Each structure stands twice: as C-alpha cells, then as structure tokens.
Amino acid sequence: MTCSDWGGRLVPYPEDLAARYRANGVWSDKPLGARLHQTARQFPDRPAVITTEGSTTFAELDRRTDQIAAGFLALGLRRRDPVIFQSTNRLETVLAWYGCLKAGLIPVATLAAHRMHEIGHISRKVGAVAHIAEAGLPSFDLVAFAHEHAHDHPTMRHIITIGSPRADTTITQLEELGLDLSPEVARATVEQIESEIDSCDVAVFQLSGGTTGVPKVIPRIHAEYWDNARLYAERLGWDEQSRVAHLGPIVHNAGITAALHAAHSVGACLVLATPEASSAMELITRTKVTAVIFGQSLYRALSKPEFSLDRTSLKRVILSGAKVSPELFEHADAGDARWAGQLFGMGEGLFVVTPLDAPAKARQTTVGTPISSDDEVRILEPGTENDLPDGSVGELCCRGPYTIRGYFDAAEHNRAAFTSDGFYRTGDLAAFTTIDGERYLSIEGRIKDLINRGGEKINAEELELLLLDHPGIANAAVVAMPDPRLGEKTCAYLVAEGQPLSLNDIQNHLEKLGVAKFKWPERLEWVDAFPRTNVGKTDKKRLRNEIAEKLSAETDTRRAVV
Ligand code: AMP
C-alpha cells in the first residue's frame, strides 16, 4: 500500500516490518472509524459511554458519529485536515473524536489547559484547519480563545463549539452537526471516505511530553493505533461485559488508548469521569465499574476513606505514572476479589502492562511485560547503543508495531531520539528483572529533563527559555520538587538580573506569553549562581536534592509548631 510521507515529514515503518506486523495481525487495513463501526455491529445495544450527564449505546454512538462526520464534510472540511481539540471529559468530546476519525480528519490531541504558546505552535506545525472548543467552562473562555487564535492563522478555517457560547447563530455547534442527514446517507458518506484512507496514513496527532524544547508531534497511524488499544484490553481480559472508568483528560494518549479505544475495541463500556475524586468515585460505584486506571495524582487520594474500593464492583485496578508503594498496592489489591497491576505507557507507543497471572511481587514492583510479542525492548547504556545485561539500570529503548519511527516534521530531533536501527530512546531508566522465572520490566527513574506534574509533563528546557525571556532573569534552571498530591511540582531556581521578582511576577510573565498554567513554577529559589557538574553543566540533581531536603525540613518545622 502506498502512502504519502507528508512531504518527508512522516517517518514510515520499514516495509519488511510493516509486512510482518500485518501478517501477525497486529496491524489492520481498516481505518479507525471502521473499527468502531465493527464493534457497534457486534454489540449494538450494549452501553458504549456513560458520563454523569447521560449515556449512549454503541448503535447510537455509531449512528450519531456518522452524522457528525458527514456534517464536518458538509462544512467543507476534507480528509487529512488536522483538528485541534480543546474540550473536557464529556460525551460530546467522544462524539467529536469519532466524528473526526470517520470523516478522515486528524484529531490533534491538545488539552483544554493549553494556551497560545502551545496551541499556536502545534496548530501551525500540523497545519490545523479546525478548532473544536468547549463553551461555558467556568475558568476560561475557550471559544473566545479559539477566535483569537484563528486570527492571522494561515490554515485555520473553522471553529466548532461544544455547547453554545451565546445566542450566536453564526457559530457551528457540534451538537447540531449532521442532524439534517439521514443515517443511511451519513453512513454512505463515511464509507466513501473510509475507502480512500490508507491504513499507513496519519490517524491522530498526539503530543509528546518528553522531549527537548517545544512539544513534539507524534503521528499515530490507522494501521496500529486501534490495535495498540485492543492489545491492552486483551492483556487485562476485558470483554463486552467490562465497564472501564477513566478520570484523566480523555484526549490524552492514556485516555484514548487505555480507555476509549481499549474499551470499544472489545465492546466494553467507557465510564467517563472527571479527576474530581469524590464525584468520580460516586460514578464508579453507581455504574458498577469493573476496571479503572489511577494515575499518580490519585495515589494519595486513594488512601482516603471516601476512596473505599471495597464498596465498588472493581475487579481490576491499574496504577500508572510512578512507583507503587507496598501500602498503595495492598490498598488496591484484594486477593481474588480485586486485582491490582500496572501500566507503563507513552504517546510514542510502547505499552508495558502487568500480565493477569503475574505473582503479587511482580505486580507491585514491576510494570510487567510489553503487550505485543512484536515489541522489542532494549536497555542501553545511556548515550550509547550498548546493551546492558538484565538487572542493570539503563535507558529503555523500544521498537515495535505501534511505536513511532519518528516525530512529525522533526528530522534533526529524530536523529537523537532514535537509535541507528530505529529504537525509540524513551529517556526513561529501566531494568529487566526475573521473578519466578519470568522477565519483567521495572522503571527506575528518567534521564529526560522534565517534571511530571500529576501525569502532565513539563519540559524543563521549554520552561527555562520562557523564563529567560523576562528581563529580570539572568539564568533559570527548573527542577521537580516532591508534592504529596501530584507527585511532582515545578521549582524554578533563578539568578536575578537586578532585584528578585515575586512568584506573582513570574506567573504574570508566563500568562502574558500564553503558557498553560500547569507549567507555571510553584516555587522560586533565588541564587547567585547554579552548582556545576564536573563537565560544567548545571547540577540539577543537586538542585532537586536541595529543594527536596528544604521542603522536608519545612514540613518538620510546621509539624513541630502545630
Ligand atoms: P505520556 O506520553 O504523556 O503518556 O508520558 C509517557 C511517560 O510517562 C513515560 O515515558 C514515562 O516517563 C512516564 N510514565 C508512564 N507510565 C509510567 C509508570 N508506570 N511509571 C513511571 N513513569 C511512567
């Protein structure tokens, strides 16, 4: 099958490997929208999505998203047009997502929390043509933002809202798209588009959290993206009776792959909650959810009384994002009644997941094994292509049927991000360990310079450059500081040009630059100079240790005062 390489901006899979993945059934010729339709034909009356506001069956979801797809095309959108997403966890986001896929449009997995700095860069990089913006959010007017962003944008032509921003008849609202089309006409339109889609063409643009400089764009293709999710669902033994809850942003790769597509690949129901712990638990309990992922930002909440997992129908609890303590594991796992395991995954591809039959020690101390037998994982001595033996900690590098071969339009960056034979350098530190005769992977830290704030990645270099844009800052080094709720938050070590600025000044500066709020530093440390390593680089390890010790001493002092 021939495929456009987007003018050299898309790195294709080598043909021999692609042929192998197809032969092994881990790649499909069907586009993503057709996979949903296939499930809907199999389980028409089963629930597909439940939210606090309502629910839909697979048949309804399939019919409505056909209409939305046809509605997008009637607006003038065309196959391969990228579409920026800024919406929260609600049913309409799922409708918009599948509507785009079925029209052959390419969802760009941006977040509602992103602002001009992020959206402006990404939308130009991919040549976005439409912007889906949720109306009525209490903290920020995304629709006004979408209009501001579209101004002078070379390719942006459509703003589509979820919800109605105001009595404005010129606005295109997702809820109204395609309502005038009969289901038969909408289906025929979708099938026509699908017949034109190459399975090795881009289906979705995800965003990378773990690279240097500005965020990189991850091109996921039709052939592999749904099967990545299916392999995950199968690893966890899900079927059409399963109900799978998700609390984090649904458009994030973890939400799409480990929740939406995974559930729908096997006919299971997605219970779409929000990160607000108590309302999520109420929904999980009421709708008899059987499986849930808890990201690291929920690890602490999990130990609170309102998170009593014993009152739920949960059979599988998947922990993801950070090391799992013995106490957390014990709380999540309940022998035969409830199984706890782990997921290590990334937008770039590789998923490593606990096998169902793994012994408790492997389930608590490791993230399991790759989900496809075609996944290839190597532990390399950092900065080299030398393999390390089992038991040694090194950089986790991977290649396989659903791991990208290159970021989109990033030839120079790709040279450093991949080995000479196409293994993706994850920037994570890992080791293979053997438990009861089986080989499992454990995550042992990272070498990439980022802060993982409750699952949202903050790129240190990107933030430092933004800080240095302020005339009052001569030098900047940002590091992770431990946070009991989110795991990590950002501390900025700064050298002043003149008088030190307040945290407020810094946050105002970043707001003016249009930087998403989750990236703003939450603590400043003003110093005369940074400590240096023996090769003359800023010694970030020392800064991280210093701030961790300082925070711990401050907590001790507060406790002593109380
Ligand atoms: P993202 O692409 O935003 O999903 O982020 C992927 C990155 O999150 C990985 O490269 C890791 O750095 C981190 N990550 C994901 N899962 C885990 C886990 N179970 N333990 C530790 N880090 C994780």
> Counting atoms of ligand 1 from 1, which one is nearest the CA of 448?
12
How many angstroms does the Cα of residue 371 sit away from the middle of ligand 1?
A: 15
23 pLDDT tier (thresholds 50, 70, 90): very high
Q: Which of 400, 344, 371 is nearest to 236 (CA)?
A: 371
pTM for this entry: 0.95
Which CATH number do you get for residue 167? 3.40.50.12780
Do 100 and 12 fall into the same domain? yes
Do 256 and 164 fall into the same domain? yes
Decide which of 401, 431, 461 is a domain's last residue. Answer: 431
Query: Token digits for 410?
Result: 């990033």
Strand partners, 352: 344, 370
Do 488 and 363 fall into the same domain? no
Domain count, the chain: 2
Q: Model confidence over 328-345: pLDDT tens digits?
A: 999 999 999 999 999 999
How many angstroms does the Cα of residue 443 sit away from the middle of ligand 1?
A: 9
- State residue 307's pLDDT score: 77
Decide which of 431, 459, 488 is a domain's last residue. Answer: 431
> Counting atoms of ligand 1 from 1, which one is nearest the CA of 352?
19
Question: Ligand 1: which residue has its CA nearest to atom 12?
Answer: 428
| pLDDT for residue 521 is more than 90 | yes
Give the rounded percent of residues in the chain with a pLDDT score beyond 90: 89
2 pLDDT tier (thresholds 50, 70, 90): low
Sequence-distant (6+) residues with CB within 8 A of 24 are: 373, 374, 401
Residue 442 lies in a domain: no
How many angstroms does the Cα of residue 411 sit away from the middle of ligand 1?
A: 24
Which CATH number do you get for residue 502? 3.30.300.30
Give the rounded percent of residues in the chain with a pLDDT score beyond 70: 97
Q: Model confidence over 425-480: pLDDT tens digits?
A: 999 999 999 999 999 999 999 999 999 999 899 999 999 999 999 999 999 999 99
How many angstroms does the Cα of residue 346 sit away from the middle of ligand 1?
A: 6
Do 426 and 284 fall into the same domain? yes
Say yes or no: CB of residue 346 within 6 Å of ligand 1: yes
Do 463 and 400 fall into the same domain? no
**Is residue 30 helix, strand or coil?**
coil
Say yes or no: CB of residue 450 within 6 Å of ligand 1: no
Residue type, position 486, single letter: L
Residue 445 lies in a domain: no
Say yes or no: CB of residue 443 within 6 Å of ligand 1: yes
210 pLDDT tier (thresholds 50, 70, 90): low
Q: Determine the average pLDDT of the residues in 246-253.
A: 95
Decide which of 431, 466, 501 is a domain's last residue. Answer: 431
- State residue 234's pLDDT score: 98
Say yes or no: CB of residue 318 within 6 Å of ligand 1: no
- State residue 107's pLDDT score: 98
Question: Ligand 1: which residue has its CA nearest to atom 1?
Answer: 346
Do 490 and 517 fall into the same domain? yes
Residue 516 lies in a domain: yes
Sequence-distant (6+) residues with CB within 8 A of 386 are: 380
Q: Are 398 and 376 in contact (CB under 8 A)?
A: yes
| pLDDT for residue 263 is more than 60 | yes
Do 292 and 170 fall into the same domain? yes
Say yes or no: CB of residue 347 within 6 Å of ligand 1: yes
Do 263 and 356 fall into the same domain? yes
Do 409 and 455 fall into the same domain? no
Residue 443 lies in a domain: no
How many angstroms does the Cα of residue 382 sit away from the middle of ligand 1?
A: 18
Residue 232 lies in a domain: yes
1 pLDDT tier (thresholds 50, 70, 90): very low
Domain carrying residue 32: 3-431
| pLDDT for residue 170 is more than 90 | no
Identify the weakest region by mean pLDDT among 155-164, 212-221, 324-333.
212-221
Residue 150 lies in a domain: yes
Residue 441 lies in a domain: no
How many angstroms does the Cα of residue 267 sit away from the middle of ligand 1?
A: 27
The CB-side HSE value for 399 (13 A sphere, CA atoms) comes to: 15
Question: Ligand 1: which residue has its CA nearest to atom 4?
Answer: 346
CA distances from 209 to 70, 110, 177, 455, 536 (A): 33, 12, 33, 10, 27
Q: Model confidence over 127-157: pLDDT tens digits?
A: 999 999 999 999 999 999 999 999 999 999 9
Give the distance from CA 231 to its chain's centroid: 17
Residue 444 lies in a domain: no
